[in-house]
Amino acid sequence: MKSLLLSAYSWADERLGLEELVEFARHKTVPVHSQAFWYYWGGLSLFFFLIQFATGVLLLLYYRPGPDAYDSVRQITFDTNFGWLVRSVHSWAANLMIVAIFVHMFSVFFMKAYRKPREFGWWSGVALLGLAMVFGFSGYLLPMDDLAYFATKVGMEISNLLPVLGPKLADLVRGGPDVSEYTVHRFFALHVVVLPAVFLPVLGFHLWLVQRHGNALPPSEETRPAALRKNETFFPDFMVKDFAMWLVAFNILSVLAFMFPWDLGPQADPLKPAPLGIHPEWYFMSQFQVLKIFGDWFPGTLGEVLGMAVFTAGGILWFLIPLYDNTQEAGRRARRATWFGLFTLMALIVTTIWGYLAL
């Protein structure tokens, strides 16, 4: 039996060059230091994405976009064996995936892992976060309950801030002046075909870069002499711990999905008033609140335009950080980048909490 497996392996190896991969994995190492905990968060993001992929395919077995959307989600939740659980896992993992990506991004930022030669890793990573948020926004509408309906309605109004082109674009995206079954169909196509088709190659690129450049060292480790730095092998040492983290994540996800099954509100009805305290998902809360603050300071469209401008400018600065904090020395510029990161993190947290308190 064993010799049969071996000869099958060498048959495949001759044709595919598997031995090169094994050799690569054997030599790949991961740094060990006090901040190594943060190395797991990219893998955790990937784990939640895989969960999303699997549960998304399962939901596709019964979900029907269009006028039937609400009814099909009601059937999944109440009439299908464990449908409530599959849906709950999909919703919870979506949120946990965004959490994991945020933690991953900020840890990369503060470890300054975006510096040369890892600029493209940073850019593709920020792109993946953006795509994940569009995944979240488009997926939120699909059940077509009242919260989904009004959240999407409000979210789409933001495009009105772009003069002339904005409203036209929004009409095209919605398939009409209002959120309707056409919108569900469009968001569905976006959510299950377009976004995965874009996300997967970017993810592949991102992972390939990680293999190419390896894990980045935080500045505190970089300054230590190479002889004092510690490493462990990727396979099996790091991978075992990586999988242990996945197992922890899986357990947390299971408990959340079981104990707090995702709700389905009443069917969307444009004639009913918006439910009290309606608000976007937490990862849009900060933008929501910034728009509100600026709206209070500068009544009318001016406030909203300024709010959007501040957020967009911040986002662009964030995206371009590898270009203006690119030196290895721990100079003034590097310190400024750290302050910028701390400010961004605090601003996001404060405006998010503020947003929830102001509901």
Q: What's the closest the beta carbon of residue 155 comes to other proteins, in angstroms?
A: 31
φ, ψ of residue 260 in degrees (nearest 5): -125, 70
> Is residue 81 part of the contact set for other proteins (CB under 8 A)?
yes
> Is residue 61 part of the contact set for other proteins (CB under 8 A)?
yes
Does residue 35 contact residue 218 with C-beta atoms inside 8 Å? yes
- In the DSSP assignment, the letter for residue 65 is -
**Other CB atoms within 10 Å distance of the CB of residue 53:** 14
> Is residue 249 part of the contact set for other proteins (CB under 8 A)?
no
Q: What's the closest the beta carbon of residue 85 comes to other proteins, in angstroms?
A: 6
Q: Which is nearer to other proteins, 236 or 331 (CB)?
A: 236
Q: Which is nearer to other proteins, 61 or 313 (CB)?
A: 61
What's the rounded Cα separation, in Å, for the pair 183 and 141?
A: 9
> Of 30, 46, 58, 113, which lies in the binding site for other proteins, with binding defined by CB under 8 A?
58
> Is residue 184 part of the contact set for other proteins (CB under 8 A)?
no
φ, ψ of residue 325 in degrees (nearest 5): -125, 80
What's the rounded Cα separation, in Å, for the pair 115 and 137?
A: 31
Residue 196 sits at the vertex; the CA angle it makes with 195 and 198, to the nearest 5 degrees, is: 65
Q: Which is nearer to other proteins, 231 or 338 (CB)?
A: 231
CA neighbor of 263 nearest in space, from 87, 13, 137, 46 = 87
Cis peptide before 201 (omega within 30 of 0): no
> Is residue 86 part of the contact set for other proteins (CB under 8 A)?
yes
> Is residue 80 part of the contact set for other proteins (CB under 8 A)?
yes
Does residue 334 contact residue 219 with C-beta atoms inside 8 Å? yes
**Applying CB under 8 A, which part among 56-64, 112-120, 202-210, 276-284 lies near other proteins?**
56-64
> Of 83, 121, 307, 355, which lies in the binding site for other proteins, with binding defined by CB under 8 A?
83
Q: What's the closest the beta carbon of residue 330 comes to other proteins, in angstroms?
A: 36
> Of 85, 97, 179, 249, which lies in the binding site for other proteins, with binding defined by CB under 8 A?
85
Please tell me the count of residues contacting other proteins according to CB under 8 A.
10
**Other CB atoms within 10 Å distance of the CB of residue 346:** 10
Identity at 310, one-letter amino acid code: V
Q: Which is nearer to other proteins, 35 or 80 (CB)?
A: 80
For 126, residues 6+ apart whose C-beta sits below 8 A from its C-beta are 105, 318, 319
**Applying CB under 8 A, which part among 27-35, 36-44, 57-65, 273-281 lies near other proteins?**
57-65
Q: What's the closest the beta carbon of residue 248 comes to other proteins, in angstroms?
A: 13
Q: Which helix (H) or strand (E) holds 148?
A: helix 146-157
Q: Which is nearer to other proteins, 30 or 253 (CB)?
A: 253
Q: What's the closest the beta carbon of residue 186 comes to other proteins, in angstroms?
A: 27
Q: What's the closest the beta carbon of residue 256 comes to other proteins, in angstroms?
A: 15
What's the rounded Cα separation, in Å, for the pair 188 and 184?
A: 6
Residues forming contacts to other proteins in the complex (CB under 8 A) are 58, 61-62, 79-83, 85-86
